[in-house]
A and B are shown apart, each in its own frame.
Chain A
Amino acid sequence: MNSSAARPESANLAAASLLPKRNADAILAGSLKTLLLLLLLLALVLPLIAILSQALLDHGNWAGSAPWVHLIDNPNFLPMVGRSLGVAAATALLVVPLAYLFAYGLQRTLAPCKSLWRGIALLPLLAPSLLPGIALIYLFGNQGLFKEWMNGSIYGFWGILLGEAFYTFPHALMILLSALSLADARLYDAASAMGASQWKTFRSVTLPATRYGIFGAFCLVFTLTITDFGVPKIVGGAFNVLAVEAYKAVVGQQQFDRGALIGLLLLIPALLTFGLDSWLQQRQRAQMSSRAEVLRPRRHWRRDGIYTLILLFISAALLLMIAVAIGASLVKLWPYNLQLTLMHYDFDNMDGGGWLAYWNSLRLALGTSIVGTVVIFTGAWLMEKTRSSPWLGNTLRLLTFLPMAVPGLVLGLGFVFFFNHPDNPLNFLYGGMTILILCSVMHFYTSAHLTAVTALKQIDPEFEAASASLKVPLWRTYLRITVPLCLPAALEILRYLFVSAMTTVSAVIFLYSPNTVLAAIAVLNMDDAGDVGPAAAMSTLILLTSLVVSLLLHWGLGSWVKRTQAWRTAGKQH
């Protein structure tokens, strides 16, 4: 031990001489994470603070209850809240049971052509929420095919209900599909061994195991409906709801405070849903033990037959809406003159933005998907695979989950209040494409982030440690190992961001300028101007673009990945 007394000094010297080149990796990771934090602060936190202060402050002072009282004093306001809640609850009550039946048919029966039904059910994700509204007008509106059925009452509650049902169906379906995919075959064996009837088994095993999924789907549909204004804008008629009111207040009447207040109100169900959902997810996780056996449905002709009919019926209803919108866009005057024509696609001779809007949307979708994939995937990797202080790590985690809880409408309003502020040095961004891309990346951040995290969690946690021991810089392992391994997930993020940016209306509606008008917004404007045919045509174009890009990414790039990444298939020979 005597010899060690002299050591500390020399050791410190050695450490000091190494200090300059010390930990290039940590510096890189640290600065990138700081950049990400800055981005999230700038494009998420500050806009949200802006909408809060717009709503709650009066010239810098706490406004107290005055603005709320003013809002509620309007005799139209409380009935409007009631209408919003009512239609959202009704949509959830309609969609969740249907989506449950659909998901049950796909996961728990031997119905034929499952991937076809699944594909059809997910189609609404590729269209703006305006499309079902337009389709409903063509079906049940004043010039509708089945006008007599609804007798004009499609404009209002029933129109919103059906339109939102179309728009929210795939969202509910995805939650319920994953809830029903978790099943422990041993429980079902036990139930049938004890002689339980099918109904009893369903009530005592299936339903309890999926109740969180049901609840989650219910909350999601409710929130999506109450914050969406695409459908009510088109078929709402005089049935005024909060989301449309916020839009009108800001865009039509320049009543920013009123818009902000309503925006805050809409944030409440979203935040509640978000909180409940994350709480429930933690409980759900504990439910499924690792020793569970996968349930494989057995042939049961009567059940399979009934579910095939259900799948067929719902798919047909969804397809009908899409087919009507596409069909109406291709004929002269629906439904009186069914001569085929492309005249509705002659956007340049119409109001609403013309082809410029379409190209802008493509630019936005490309920009959002490329920038978003790089930022979100790299961010997820930094958070998952590099060490950070608990403070930074937790802050980033919280901020990446926040966008899920913020409706597009609220985010868009926040952007307006923050970036349009005359004192903001970033004011120049307002009205350009950059701010639209920024807003879209933030809007869809969480889902994309979760996809990336799931993929990153599946790769060996020791890769970074192994490469560090081999003295390879962090960025090199990221590009050479991590990115190739996660390429399918990255492509899925790319696809999701592209489609979302292509179809979104809610956030960007407050941010576009005449130069950056977007396709989905053009749909809205053309419908406003009474040009329903062109609106249908533009919706069709958006749907087709999303579809083509999705299929390209799925098959085209998918097979390219398989060909260039020989190791993916090589392993299977073993």
Chain B
Amino acid sequence: MPAAQAFLAIREVSKRFGAFTALDQVSLDVRQGEMVCLLGPSGCGKTTLLRVIAGLERQDQGSIHAHGKDISQLPPQARDYGILFQSYALFPNLTVGQNVAYGLSALGIPRTKMQQRVSEMLQMVDLPDSAKKYPGQLSGGQQQRVALARALAPSPSLLLLDEPLSALDAQVREHLQLEIRRLQKQFNITTLMVTHDQEEAMVMADRIAIMQHGRIVQFDTPERIYRRPATPFVADFIGQANWFDYQRLSPQQVRVGALTLQIALGAPSTDNGRLFCRPEAIDVLPAIHAANRFCARVVDQIYLGDRYRMLLELDELPGQRLMADVTSEVRARLPEVSAERLWIALPQHSLQLFS
């Protein structure tokens, strides 16, 4: 993507804390109105990157442009963004209404207009009657909604979310994920969110930037990240994966232990490496002539609510476990498992090779 189109352009930003490299030449472009998630394990630098963009940490090198303007050296006040924290950071001594108005008062807006804006914002986050309450009287989810109203009230051009939902219960979290997503689209506000929860990133993001050791290892849509992970780390971090060591036999064939597997054309042409396959890609009701069809023993089955996870062992790969996720309907169609053995197939297009 050409840099000129980016609303937020981060160029080769580095940040060290003593001997620890938190950010290593990170570049990232975010389009106007886009929601981007920074996703990675703890210590990968995602929070540091967000804080550098917010001006709360100063980068050692590199530049940050927003609206085509260099904001690299500006103090936080001059950067024009709203921010949400895991702790909500609501002022406990101010009412909900005063909290939402806090940023408006700094803009010198007339009082009546301010009141109007406050009730408008509270309406929008579905808390119209809470203006007179104190944050301590609200639940965690409600508090974070107030924090969202406060952040959006001055109409910033950028919204930064620092693990905003990590402190909430699963149910409230799922609800708020959709809520934030809805408001983000409604305001068409460019948004950057830090999270360590891959599901949350999948649900909310237009694009996800996967970070590892202070670098962005893949930046793409959730679907492409899931289907075509750029590195084994990404494949492992997002979703579940089965891994095999392989040797290349021909452009379309690899050997895994005693097995010979057909692979799709166009896979990287390395002689050996690791091969991965998503559990749900495994076909437990293969056609007789399906490629990569093998006999497996069912070691265990785990009920996961919406699906079953079968732990399998291929006859030709003793000792190596294989995970296969199977919907309840498919499982119902399985032949009455005699001696817990069945045929499975590893579809060609689902096998991805890494050197």
Does B134 have its Cβ within 8 Å of any Cβ on chain A?
yes
Q: How far is the CB of A476 from chain B (nearest CB, A)?
A: 8
Q: Given contacts A460-B87, A465-B54, are A472 and B69 in contact (CB under 8 A)?
A: no
Cβ-based interface call for B273 (8 A): no
* A14-B70, A574-B137 given; A468·B77 CB < 8 A: yes
Do A470 and B106 form a contact, CB below 8 Å, given A4-B11, A15-B72, A465-B76? yes
Given A12-B70, A22-B78, A23-B75, also A472-B136 (CB < 8 A): no
Chain B residues lying within 8 Å of A473, measured Cβ to Cβ, are 77, 106
For B71-115 the 0/1 string (1 means CB < 8 A from A) is 011111111011101011101111100000011011100000000
B70 touches A15 (CB 8 A): yes
Choice from B78, B102, B134 contacting A566 with Cβ under 8 Å: B134
Q: Check A465/B89 contact, CB under 8 A, given A12-B70, A22-B78.
A: yes
Q: Mark B151-187, 1 if CB is under 8 A from A, else 0.
A: 1001010001000000000000000000000000000
B56 at interface, CB cutoff 8 A: yes
- With beta carbons under 8 angstroms apart, the residue of B55, B73, B136, B160 that contacts A567 is B136
Decide if A467 is an interface residue (CB 8 Å cutoff).
Answer: yes
List, in ascending order, chain B residues with CB within 8 A of A469's CB.
Answer: 54, 76, 79, 81-83, 103, 151, 156, 160
Q: Which residues of B contact A15 (CB under 8 A)?
A: 70, 72-74
Q: Which residues of A are found within 8 Å of B73, using beta-carbon distances?
A: 15, 22
Contacts of B106 in A (CB 8 A): 470-473, 476
Interface residue tally of chain A, by bracket? 35 or more
Name the CB-closest residue of B to A23.
B75
A88 to chain B, nearest CB (A): 43
B residues in contact with A471, CB < 8 Å: 77, 103, 106-107, 154
CA distance A317 to B99 in the complex (A): 54
The answer to whether B83 touches A7, judged by C-beta atoms less than 8 angstroms apart, is: no
Most buried by B among A4, A14, A466, A469: A469
Which secondary structure dominates where chain A touches chain B? helix
Q: Contact between B151 and A7 (Cβ–Cβ < 8 Å)? A: no
Nearest CB on A from B129, distance (A): 15
- Do B11 and A570 have beta carbons less than 8 Å apart? no
B104's nearest neighbour on chain A, judged by CB, is A470
Q: In the assembled complex, which residues on chain B have CB atoms less than 8 Å from the CB atom of A573? A: 137
Given contacts A465-B54, A467-B102, contact A1 B91 (CB under 8 A): no
Distance between A542 CB and nearest chain B CB, rounded to angstroms? 36
- Residues of chain A within 8 A of B151, CB atoms compared: 469-470
Interface residue? A66 (CB, 8 A): no
Chain B residues 1-48 with CB under 8 Å of chain A are 2-4, 9, 11
In the complex, are the beta carbons of A25 and B77 less than 8 A apart?
Answer: yes
Residues of B within 8 A of A21 (CB): 78
Q: Are A11's CB and B87's CB within 8 A? A: no
B242 within 8 A of A: no
Q: A60 within 8 Å of B by Cβ?
A: no
| In-complex Cβ contact of B65 among A7, A22, A467, A565 (8 A) | A7
Chain A residues 557 to 574 lying within 8 A of chain B, measured CB to CB, are 565-567, 570-574
Residues of B within 8 A of A466 (CB): 83, 85, 89, 150
- Interface check A196, CB cutoff 8 A: no
Whether, in the assembled complex, A197 has its beta carbon less than 8 Å from a beta carbon of chain B, the answer is no
Contacts of A484 in B (CB 8 A): 93
B253 within 8 A of A: no
Question: Contact partner of A470 among B2, B102, B160, CB < 8 A?
Answer: B102
A257 to B151 alpha-carbon distance, docked (Å)? 63
Q: In the complex, A411→B318 CA distance in Å?
A: 79
**Across the two chains, which residue of chain A brings its CB closest to B154?**
A470
Which of chain B's residues has its CB closest to A2's CB?
B2
B residues near A570, Cβ cutoff 8 Å: 133-134, 136-137
- Chain A residue numbers with a CB within 8 Å of B218 are none
* A485 and B93 contacting across the interface, CB-CB below 8 Å: yes
| CB of B64, distance to nearest CB on chain A (Å) | 10
Chain A residues within 8 Å of B81, by CB: 469
**Known A-B contacts A472-B103, A567-B92; A3 and B77 likewise in contact (beta carbons under 8 Å):** no
Given A462-B87, A463-B89, A574 and B136 contact (CB-CB distance below 8 Å): yes
CB-based nearest B residue for A459: B92
Quick check: B56 and A571 within 8 Å, CB to CB?
A: no
Q: What separation, in Å, do the CA atoms of A18 and B79 have in the docked complex?
A: 11
Question: 0/1 per residue, A439-467, Cβ < 8 Å to B?
Answer: 00000000000000000000011110111
**Could you name 25 residue pairs across A and B whose Cβ atoms are closer than 8 Å?**
A3-B4, A4-B9, A7-B68, A7-B70, A15-B73, A22-B74, A23-B75, A460-B87, A468-B56, A468-B76, A468-B77, A469-B54, A469-B151, A469-B156, A470-B150, A471-B106, A476-B106, A481-B93, A484-B93, A485-B92, A485-B93, A567-B94, A567-B135, A570-B134, A574-B138
